Structure 1
Amino acid sequence: MIELRHAGPEEFAASLDTVIDIYTVAMRPPTDQLTGRQSIMRNHATYPRFTCLVAETTDGVAVGFGYGFHGSPGQWWHDVVRRSLEEREGPATAAAWFENAFEIAEIHVRPEYQGKGVGRRLVHGLCAGRGERTAVMSTHDQPTAARHLYQRLGFVDLIGMYVFPGGYEHYAIVGATLPLQPMP
């Protein structure tokens, strides 16, 4: 059985080694990116209304995590993506999605626990009770299990085949109106 528990910003920052380990086995990024990713995650914990959930086995072994925060001007992802959406769809569309958004920064589950509802529970748990109007995130723009999960939860494509500045991978920027649709 997997249980979800909240981790505050201080606990999250203190457990970054575990978080990075889960991120690494789930995403298999180039090792030279891990130090930068850890720094980004540490910084995210300082953002307004940061919330984190950790998925653990009954004996306390972390098998997944997810976190997000209130998106605000001055945050790199928020500014870059909002500007791109504004250029493509206009200021009204960008405002509708980003004026009062919960930005889901990371959702990762160890491969041996994927496909068992852990990711769905993390997304729902993070979004439950939020005061924001929308939830937004980026995900690889490929037909992955995660991408299908987000679609089933009500996330729609805002921008497809998006490459972040300085990057090379294609992402989909997706958004959903809160509260999320319940899973059948």
Structure 2
Amino acid sequence: MIELRRAGPEGFMPALDTVIGIYTAAMRPPVDQLAGRQNIMRNHATFPDFTCLFAHTEDGTVVGFGYGFHGMPGQWWHEVVRRALEERSGAEAAAGWFGNALEIAEIHVHPAYQGKGIGRRLVSGLCEGRPESTAVLSTHDQPTAARHLYRRLGFVDLMTMFVFPGGYEHYAIVGTPLPLTADAPGAPAAP
């Protein structure tokens, strides 16, 4: 049985090597990007209202994690994505989605444990009880299991075919009003 354990920055930082191991197994990034990713994660833990969920087995082995925080001006992802949405959809849409948002930065499950509902539990758990009016995240803009999961949880596309500055991969920026309305028929209305 997989259990979830919530942690703030003080519980997240000591587990950073474990987190990077799960991230590496799930995403298979180039090795030369791991130090940078670890620094990004370390920085995220300093953001307002940071919370992490660890998915672990009965013996305590961590097999997945997810974390998010309150998005605000001055944070790189927040600034880049909000500006792009404003350019594509207008200031009102950008303010509606990013004015009071939970930004889900990472959701990863070790490949040996994928397909068991852990990702769904992590996303739902991160969103549960949050004071923000929306949740937003970025994911590869491909027909992946993650894209399917986010749609089933009520996330809608805010932007597709988005390329981050200095990058080359296409991402979808997705969002949902909070609280989640998991598996609700149809897409939720924009805030």
TM range (shorter): over 0.9
- Aligned residue runs from structure 1 range 133-152, under 5 A: 133-152=133-152
Q: Matches of 2:180 and 2:114 in 1, distance apart?
A: 21
- Aligned residue runs from structure 1 range 82-161, under 5 A: 82-161=82-161
Match of residue 77 from structure 1: 77
Tell whether the 8 Å contact from 2:152 to 2:182 is kept in structure 1 after alignment.
no
SS in 1 for 2:4: strand
1:18 equivalent to 2:18? Answer yes
Identity of aligned residues (%): 76
Moved over 6 A (4+): none
Match of residue 168 from structure 2: 168
SS in 2 for 1:93: helix
SS in 1 for 2:69: strand
- What is the aligned-residue RMSD (CA, Å)? 0.8
How far does the alpha carbon of each residue in 1:10-55 deviate from its partner, in whole angstroms, 9 at most, with x for none? Answer: 2211111000000000000011000000000000000000010000
Q: Matches of 1:65 and 1:56 in 2, distance apart?
A: 9
Q: Matches of 1:77 and 1:55 in 2, distance apart?
A: 25
The TM-score normalised by the length of structure 2 is 0.95
SS in 2 for 1:107: strand
> 1:183, CA displacement in angstroms?
4.2
Q: Matches of 1:96 and 1:72 in 2, distance apart?
A: 13
Tell whether the 8 Å contact from 2:154 to 2:182 is kept in structure 1 after alignment.
no
How far does the alpha carbon of each residue in 1:100-131 deviate from its partner, in whole angstroms, 9 at most, with x for none? Answer: 00000000000111110000000000000000
Q: Matches of 1:14 and 1:59 in 2, distance apart?
A: 18
Structure 2: which 5+ runs fail to align? Answer: 185-191
Q: Matches of 1:78 and 1:150 in 2, distance apart?
A: 19
Match of residue 38 from structure 2: 38
Q: Matches of 1:85 and 1:20 in 2, distance apart?
A: 30
How far does the alpha carbon of each residue in 1:67-105 deviate from its partner, in whole angstroms, 9 at most, with x for none? Answer: 000000000000000000000000000000000000000
The TM-score normalised by the length of structure 1 is 0.99
1:27 equivalent to 2:27? Answer yes
> 1:182, CA displacement in angstroms?
2.9
Name the amino acid aligned to 1:70. Answer: H
Structure 1: which 5+ runs fail to align? Answer: none
Q: How many residues align?
A: 184
